[in-house]
Structure 1
Amino acid sequence: MTPETSAPSSPPTPGEVDCLVVGAGPVGLYQVFQLGLQELSCAVVDALPFLGGQCAELYPDKPIHDLPGLLACSGAELVGRLVRQLEPFKPRCVLGQEIVALAAEPDGRWRLGDAAGRVWLARSVVLAAGVGAFAPRRLKLAGIEALEGRQVWHREPRAGDSIGAVPWVHGGDDRALDAVTALVDLGAPVVHLLYRREVYPASAARVARLEGLIAEGRVVRHVGQPESLLLDDAGRLVGIAWMAADGSAPAAPASSLHVSLGLNPRLGPLADWDLGLARKQVPVDPATFETRLPGIHAVGDVCSYPGKLKLIVSGFHEATLAAHAIAHRLRPDAPRILEYTTSSARLQRILGVDATHAARDTP
Structure 2
Amino acid sequence: MHTTDVVIIGAGPVGLFAAFQAGMLGMRCHIIDALELPGGQCYALYPEKPIYDIPGYPKILAADLIKQLVDQATPFNPVYHLNQRATELITTDNSFIIKTSEELTIQAKVIIIAAGAGAFDFNKPPLTGIELFENKSVFYFIKNRNDFINKKIIIAGGGDSAVDWAISLAEIANKVYLLHRRDKFRAAPESLRQIKQLADAGKITIITGYQLDRLIGSDGYLEAVVVKDLDGNLKTIEAEMLCPFFGLAQTLGPIAEWELQLKSHHIAVTSPHCMTNINGIYAIGDIATFPGKLKLILTGFSDAAQAVHHAYARVFDGKALHFEYSTTKGLPR
TM-score scaled to structure 1, two decimals? 0.67
Distance of 1:151 and 1:268 partners within structure 2 = 29
- Aligned equivalent of 1:123, options 90, 109, 115: 109
Q: What's the counterpart of residue 91 of structure 1?
A: 78
Q: 1:16 to 1:263 in 2, by over 3 A?
A: same
Task: State how far apart, in whole Å, the 2-side matches of 1:16 and 1:44 are.
Answer: 12
Q: Is the 8 A contact 1:27 1:316 kept in 2?
A: yes
Q: CA shift at 1:90, angstroms?
A: 2.4
Flag the 1:157–1:339 CA change in 2: closer, same or farther, 3 A: closer
Residues 99 and 112, structure 1, Cα contact 8 Å, conserved in 2: no
Residue 237 of structure 1: CA displacement?
A: 8.6
Between structure 1 and structure 2, the one with the greater Rg is: 1
Indicate the residue corresponding to 1:298 in structure 2. 283
Query: Structure 1 CA distance, aligned partners of 2:117 and 2:111?
Result: 17
Deviation at 1:323, TM superposition (A): 0.8
8 A Cα contact 1:147 1:237, kept in partner: no
Provide the rounded CA distance (Å) in 1 between the counterparts of 2:307 and 2:35.
24
Matched residue, 2:28: 41
Q: Is the 8 A contact 1:144 1:229 kept in 2?
A: no
**Which residue of 1 is the match for residue 60 of structure 2?**
74
Instruction: Find the counterpart in structure 2 of residue 280 from structure 1.
Output: 265
- Aligned residue type for 1:330: V
Identity among equivalent pairs (%):
27
**SS of residue in 2 equivalent to 1:83:** helix
Deviates more, 1:236-245 or 1:25-34: 236-245
What amino acid does structure 1 have at the position aligned with 2:6? C
Match of 1:20 in 2: 7
Q: Which of residues 191, 212, 227 is equivalent to 1:242?
A: 227
Does the CA-based 8 Å contact 1:299-1:319 persist in structure 2?
A: yes
2:49 matches 1:60: yes
- Show CA shifts across 1:53-105 (max 9, x none): 3445358314226x3xx36232534434333322321212344x342412215
Q: 1:267 aligns with which of 252, 256, 261?
A: 252
Q: How does 1:208-357 map to 2 (within 5 A)?
A: 223-224=207-208, 225-229=210-214, 240-243=225-228, 248-251=233-236, 257-343=242-328, 347-350=329-332
Call closer, same or farther: CA 1:237–1:337 in 2, change over 3 Å: closer
Give 1:283 shift. Answer: 1.4
The whole-number CA distance in structure 1 between the counterparts of 2:80 and 2:288 is 22
Distance 2:152 2:66 in 1: 36
Structure 2: unaligned runs, 5 residues or longer: 145-150
Alpha-carbon distance, 1:131 to partner: 1.9
Q: Distance in 2 between matches of 1:299 and 1:282?
A: 9
Cα distance change, pair 45–173 in 1 and its aligned pair in 2 (3 A): farther
Name the counterpart of 1:10.
none
Equivalent residue, structure 1, for 2:147: none
Note the C-alpha offset of 1:176. 6.9
Question: 2:102, 2:93 → 1: CA distance?
Answer: 25
Q: How far apart are 1:274 and its partner, in Å?
A: 1.4
Deviates more, 1:321-330 or 1:118-127: 118-127
Structure 1 distance, partners of 2:79, 2:131, is 35
Aligned to 2:148: none
Amino acid at match of 1:223: I
Q: Which amino acid counterpart does residue 337 of structure 1 have in structure 2? A: H
CA apart distance, 1:126? 0.4
How far off is 1:285 after superposition?
2.7
Judge conservation of contact 2:118–2:251 (CA < 8 Å) in 1. Answer: yes
Could you say if the C-alpha distance between residues 168 and 23 of structure 1 is closer, same or farther in structure 2, counting changes exceeding 3 Å?
A: same
Distance in 2 between residues matched to 1:316 and 1:257, nearest whole Å = 35
Report if aligned partners of 1:170, 1:176 keep a CA contact under 8 Å in 2. Answer: no
Which AA in structure 2 matches 1:34?
Answer: Q
Alignment of 1:1-20 (within 5 A): 14-20=1-7
2:99/2:106 contact within 8 Å kept: yes
Identify unmatched segments of 5+ residues in structure 1: 1-13, 159-164, 185-189, 353-363
Contact 1:48 1:134 in 2 (8 A): no
Could you report, residue by residue, the CA deviation over 1:313-337 in whole angstroms, capped at 9, with x for unpaired residues?
3322221121122210121342331
Q: CA RMSD in A?
A: 4.5
Q: What is the DSSP-based 3-state SS (H/G/I as helix, E as strand, rest coil) of the residue aligned with 1:318?
A: helix
Structure-1 separation of matches of 2:256 and 2:269: 15
Shift of 1:27: 1.8
- What is the CA–CA distance in structure 2 between the aligned matches of 1:115 and 1:50, rounded to whole Å? 16
- 1:168, distance to aligned residue in structure 2 (A): 6.1
